[in-house]
Amino acid sequence: MSYTLYIDTVSSSVILGEQNLKLKSDILFAAYPNPATDNLHINLSLPNTDDYTISIITALGQPVKQLFTGKTAGLSADYNISSLEGGLYFVEALCSDGRKIVKLSIIK
């Protein structure tokens, strides 16, 4: 299921209810477990090396935790998210091609 979220004059496409997304340019982006408690695993697979920033953002698009910044062609890493309150978040992968978002529930 796909929704478009509009905030003032800024729009961003958000895909809800999916953890593994096959994206344009053969990009695979996954965040699990979902729901998560203290740790989150990120998988990012790219056809080419690119500059990426991976962050956890609120439903309003406000960043709350930056997980990765750098040039990569793939990433598989665990991140400590124990400092975040329980609730609904999104994990955002941002690059020159645009951004990819997956929903994340954190339970405490």
Give the up-direction half-sphere exposure of residue 71: CA atoms within 13 A in the CB hemisphere: 3
Read off the amino acid at residue 32. Y
DSSP one-letter code for 36: B
pLDDT at 79: 97
Give yes or no for a contact between 93 and 54, defined as CB atoms under 8 angstroms apart. Answer: yes
pLDDT at 1: 52
pLDDT at 7: 42
- What domains appear along the chain, each with residue ranges and CATH number? 2-106 (2.60.40.1930)
What are the average pLDDT values for consecutive 10-residue runs of the chain, which has 108 residues? 44 41 62 95 86 93 95 92 96 83 93
Tell me how crowded residue 107 is: count the other CB atoms within 10 A of its CB.
8
- What does pTM read for this prediction? 0.74
pLDDT at 37: 95
